[in-house]
Amino acid sequence: MQFIKSMHDLRFHTLLRLAALVSLVAAISTPAMAARKKDIPNPDFTNGEPIPEGASKDWTLGATGARGWIYSHDMETSQARQIRITEVAEDSPANGVLKVGDVILGIGEDAFSYDARRAFGEALTVAESNAGGGQLELLRWREGDTEIVTVELPVLGDYSSTAPYGCTKSARILKQGCRALAEKIMSPDYNPNPISRSLNALALLATGDKTWMPAIKQEAEWASNYSAFKFSTWYYGYVITFLAEYVMATGDESVMPGLRRLALESAEGQSIVGSWGHRFAGDDGRLVGYGMMNAPGVPLTISLELARRAGVDDPKIPLAIERSMKLLRFYTGKGAVPYGDHDPWMHMHDDNGKCGMAAVLFNLLEEEEGAKFFSRMSLASFGNGRDTGHTGNFWNMTWAMPGVNQSGPHATGAWMQEFGTWYYDLARGHDGLFRHQGPPQARPDSTAGWDATGAFLLAYAMPIRQLYMTGKQQPTTPQLTAAEAEEIIDDGRGWTNSNRYGRYLEMSTDELLQRLGSWSPIVRERAAVALAKRDDPPIDDIIDLLDSNSLETRIGACQALAQLKGKAQSAVPELRETLEADDMWLRINAAQALGAIGGPAKVAAEDLLQMLVREPGPEDPRAMEQRYLCFALFSNRGGLLSDSLDGVDPDLLREAVRAGLRNQDGRARHTLTAVYEHLSDRELNKLLPDVLYSVVNPSPSGIMFADSSRLEGLRMLGEWKVAEGIDACMYYLKNLNHWGSQKRVPEILEVLQTYGVHARRTIPELEELADYFAAGKPTYFPEHLSKGKAEDVREAIEYLQNTDDKPELMKVL
C-alpha cells in the first residue's frame, strides 16, 4: 500500500500547488495564437463597420481617461489608422470631449499616416510637454461629422535626454502614481495577484518616501504571511524580493520568519540541476509538468540573493543560487535567455524580459561580463520585439528598465526616447495608475487586467537608487556614453513580426559581412540569414572570417555558414580546424555549421565523436558541448549520422552513445535513438546496460523531451527481453508526473506485456494503479482520460493472467 500512499501524498501536494496556478494558468499560452487564427478585418468605422467579432482588446489612451480599440495584425498595430473609443471615465479630461463610439482619425488636422497607437502615444508626450501646453488636439469623427477637438491634459514637462535621470517629468509621474497607488493599496478591497501586489509595494518602497510607510508596512505583513499560493514559483520570486528589500530598507526584522520560510521553500524546491518550473521539483529532484521555465526561475534566483543579503543565513540559499547560475552563465554572449533549458533565443534581443532579469542578477553577483551583455541586450530590445511575448508583454515591460539601467543614464535615456516615452505615456491613465496594456493582438492576453502600476513606477524610481532592484548597488557594467547607447539602439532596429529581415536584406554585402562581427548574436544571426538569401552569397569571404582575430567574427562566420547549409561545403576543411578552437561556443557553432552542411561534412563525423566522448571541463559543468554535438551528429533533422553509420568506428560510436545517454538533457538523449535502428544486434547488445541506465535514470533537464528516449529504451529492453525492463516499466508507470503522461500509459503497458508470465508478479501493483486511475487521481491528465487509462491497465492485467507466453530473459546488470 506504500505506492498508493505516495500517490495520495503527491495528489494532496499537487492540489495545493495547482491552486497557485489558477489565476496564472492562462499565462502559459502564447499571445501569438491569436495571430495564427483567421485574420480579422481592418474595419472602417466611418463606414459603419463594427469592431470584428471576437476582437475585444482595447487600450488605455493615456491621461485622457479614454480607452480605444485599435486594429492589430500579426502582433502589430502598424496598419491601424483609426481608434474607436470604447470607454471614457467620468472624472477624466476626455469626458465631454469624447464618448463611446467616437473614432479618432488623426492628430490635429492630420490623419494618421502610420501606426495609430504609436502616433497617439507620441501626441500625448508632446501635449504634456511645456511646449504642448496640455493641448491634445484630435481629429474626431462622430456620427458622420469630422472635427478637431481638444482634450486638456496636465502639463508634466519634457522628458530629459537621460530620463528618468535628471527628469522633472519622470519625478512628477512617480509622485502622482505613488499617491494614487498608496490610496489604492489601503482600500479594503485591494487584492491583486501576488506579482502585481509585490511590485506595487516595491514601487512605494523605492521612493524612500516615508509618507507611504503605512501602506508599505501593511504589504510587508501580507507578504510575510503569504501562503495562499504557497507552491507557486511564479509568485515566490516577487514576494521574496519585496520582503528582502523591505528588511534592508527599513531594518524591520519582524518579517524575517516569513522571509526565511519562503526563501528556504524556494531553495528546497529547486531541481537538482538548478532550475524551476511552474511548480517546485518532485522528491526525485526533477521538475514535473513540462519542465524548466526561466521566467519564474531568474526572479527566484534574484530573490534568493536578496534574501541572503537581508539575513537569511542557510547554506541551502547560496547552493541554490550557484546551481541556478550554472544554468544562466551559459547564455552570456550567446543570445537572449530562452523560455527554458533551450538554445539561446535568437529571434529578438530579449525574450519576455529575461535578459533584463539576468542583467539585474549578474550585477547583484558582481559578474561584470554577464551584467554587461544582458544589459546591452535589454537596451537593444524595443518596439515590436519588446511589445510582444509568450505570455503577453507584462514581463517584457516590467524588466526592461531594470535591465537597461545597469548601463547608466545615457542608456535609459536612449531607450526611453526610442520607445519608452510614448509607450509609458499611453499606458498611464488619468489617475496616474497603469493598467497592463498587453501585446498588439485582437484578444486580451493572459495577464489582461493585471495592475502594472508598480512595474512602470519602478522604472521612474531608478534615479533614487533606494533598492537593489533600482540600482542601489553600484553597477559592475561600464556606463555607456550617449554615442555608445545610440549604437546599441541601432543594433535593435529593423525587426517587426511581419518583416523580420527586411532591413538586413536591403544592406550591402560588405555591411552584412561587417555585422557578422557584432557584439550582438542577434545582429550576427540576422546578417547571416540575409547573406544566405543572396543569389550569389560571398562564401569565400565568409570562410576567410574564420581566421579573424575577433571571436565574435569567427562565431558570426559559423552562423552564416550554418544558414548557407549545403552551399557552404567548401568551408568543411576550415570548420574542422575551427573545432580545435579554445572557445567552447565557437567549437559548438562550428559543429552546428558542419551539421547544417550535411552530407559533404560527414568526413568530420569522427572529429565530432571524439569531442563527444571527452570528459567535460570545468568551463562546461552541464556538458553543453556534448549536448550540441549530439544534435549535430544524430538529430533526425539533419544530423550527420542520423541516416547512416557507414564508415564509423563502432567502438568510438559506442563510447559516444554511452556518453550521450548520460547527458543531463532529454533532447540530447533522444537524438541517440536514431542510432538504434542502424546498429547490428551485436552492437545493440553491448549498449543494453546504457539503455537501461537512461530509462531508470531519467534526464533532469529537457523534461518535456525526456520521455521519448525512455520509451524507446523500454521498447529495446522489451525486444531483448531484458529482465530489468519489468521493474523499469513499473517505475515509469508509478511516476507519471510529466507532460503528456496519459499518452504513454498504453505504450508502457504494451512493453510490459511482452514479458509474458514473467511480468505476472506486477499484477498487485497494477491493480492498485488501476484503482488509482479509476478514482481520477492523477494530476497530469484529465479525469475522463484517467478513467480510460484504468481500463488500459485492467486489460493488461487480464492479458498477464491468461498468457502462456514465457520468453527467455536476460540480465544486463
Looking at residue 735, its pLDDT comes to: 83
Looking at residue 796, its pLDDT comes to: 97
- Residue 322, pLDDT > 90, answer yes
Looking at residue 638, its pLDDT comes to: 85
Looking at residue 677, its pLDDT comes to: 87
Region 23-42: mean pLDDT is: 51
- Compute how many other C-beta atoms are within 10 angstroms of the C-beta atom of residue 721: 16
- Residue 7, pLDDT > 70, answer no
Tens digit of each residue's pLDDT (9 = 90 or more) over 695-704 = 999 999 988 7
Q: Could you tell me if 511 and 439 are in contact, meaning their C-beta atoms sit under 8 angstroms apart?
A: no
Higher pLDDT, 319 or 34: 319
C-alpha span between 421 and 383 (Å, rounded): 12
Q: In 3D, which of 223, 163, 64, 601 has the Cα closest to residue 411?
A: 163
- Residue 510, pLDDT > 80, answer yes
Which residues have a Cβ under 8 Å from the Cβ of 498 and sit 6 or more positions away?
73, 74, 75, 76, 78
Question: DSSP character for 145?
Answer: E
Most confident of the following: 27-41, 406-420, 782-796:
406-420
Which residues have a Cβ under 8 Å from the Cβ of 187 and sit 6 or more positions away?
none
Give the chain's radius of gyration (CA, Å). 29
Is the fold of 36-152 the same as that of 168-252+259-266+288-492?
no
Confidence of residue 783 (pLDDT cuts 50, 70, 90): low
- Residue 36, pLDDT > 60, answer no
Looking at residue 440, its pLDDT comes to: 96
Looking at residue 272, its pLDDT comes to: 95
Give the CB-side neighbour count of residue 527, counting CA atoms within 13 A.
29
Looking at residue 34, its pLDDT comes to: 38
CATH code of the domain occupying 168-252+259-266+288-492: 1.50.10
CA distances from 739 to 14, 21, 328, 731 (A): 14, 16, 24, 17
Q: What percent of the chain has pLDDT over 70?
A: 93
Q: What percent of the chain has pLDDT over 90?
A: 87
Q: Could you tell me if 125 and 425 are in contact, meaning their C-beta atoms sit under 8 angstroms apart?
A: yes
Q: Could you tell me if 65 and 73 are in contact, meaning their C-beta atoms sit under 8 angstroms apart?
A: no
Q: Could you tell me if 241 and 202 are in contact, meaning their C-beta atoms sit under 8 angstroms apart?
A: yes
Q: Could you tell me if 712 and 673 are in contact, meaning their C-beta atoms sit under 8 angstroms apart?
A: yes
- Residue 12, pLDDT > 70, answer no
Looking at residue 5, its pLDDT comes to: 36
The residue extents of the domains of the chain are 36-152, 168-252+259-266+288-492, 501-611, 721-813
Q: Would you put residue 807 in left (φ > 0), alpha (ψ -120 to 50) or beta?
A: beta
Region 78-88: mean pLDDT is: 98
C-alpha span between 307 and 184 (Å, rounded): 27
Write the class of the CATH domain 36-152.
Answer: mainly beta
C-alpha span between 509 and 704 (Å, rounded): 41
Confidence of residue 781 (pLDDT cuts 50, 70, 90): low
Lowest mean pLDDT among 159-173, 314-328, 656-670, 736-750: 736-750
Lowest mean pLDDT among 416-430, 658-672, 763-777: 763-777
CA distances from 311 to 251, 263, 268, 306 (A): 11, 11, 18, 9
Region 568-574: mean pLDDT is: 98
Higher pLDDT, 648 or 777: 648
Tens digit of each residue's pLDDT (9 = 90 or more) over 107-135 = 999 999 999 999 999 999 999 999 999 99
- Residue 729, pLDDT > 90, answer yes
- Residue 555, pLDDT > 80, answer yes
Which residues have a Cβ under 8 Å from the Cβ of 14 and sit 6 or more positions away?
279, 779
- Residue 451, pLDDT > 60, answer yes
Looking at residue 626, its pLDDT comes to: 97
Q: Which residue type is seen at 732?
A: Y
Looking at residue 26, its pLDDT comes to: 38
- Residue 31, pLDDT > 50, answer no
Interstrand relation of 103-107 and 135-142 (parallel, antiparallel or unpaired): antiparallel
106 beta partners: 111, 139
Q: In 3D, which of 360, 362, 305, 285 has the Cα closest to residue 328?
A: 362
- Residue 356, pLDDT > 90, answer yes
Confidence of residue 335 (pLDDT cuts 50, 70, 90): very high
Q: Could you tell me if 249 and 205 are in contact, meaning their C-beta atoms sit under 8 angstroms apart?
A: yes
Which residues have a Cβ under 8 Å from the Cβ of 88 and sit 6 or more positions away?
65, 66, 67, 94, 95, 98, 99, 100
Looking at residue 778, its pLDDT comes to: 65
- Residue 233, pLDDT > 60, answer yes
Tens digit of each residue's pLDDT (9 = 90 or more) over 264-315 = 999 999 999 999 998 899 888 988 877 899 999 999 999 999 999 999 999 9
138 beta partners: 107, 149
- Residue 758, pLDDT > 60, answer yes
Confidence of residue 229 (pLDDT cuts 50, 70, 90): low
Q: Please, what is the average pLDDT of the chain?
A: 92
- Residue 608, pLDDT > 90, answer yes
Looking at residue 780, its pLDDT comes to: 62
Angle, helices 316-328 vs 354-364, to 10°: value is 130
Q: Could you tell me if 476 and 66 are in contact, meaning their C-beta atoms sit under 8 angstroms apart?
A: no
Q: In 3D, which of 604, 623, 622, 621 has the Cα closest to residue 613?
A: 623
Region 395-405: mean pLDDT is: 98
C-alpha span between 65 and 57 (Å, rounded): 17
Concatenate the DSSP letters of all residues of 443-511 into one string: S--TTTT-B-HHHHHHHHTGGG--STTTT-SPPSSPPPPHHHHHHHHHHH-S-BTTBSSHHHHTS-HHH
- Residue 568, pLDDT > 70, answer yes
Region 328-335: mean pLDDT is: 98
Looking at residue 504, its pLDDT comes to: 98
Q: Is the entire prediction scored with pTM above 0.85?
A: yes
CATH-assigned architecture of domain 501-611: Alpha Horseshoe (1.25)
Looking at residue 3, its pLDDT comes to: 38
Looking at residue 717, its pLDDT comes to: 97
Residue with cell 528556504: 264
Looking at residue 30, its pLDDT comes to: 40
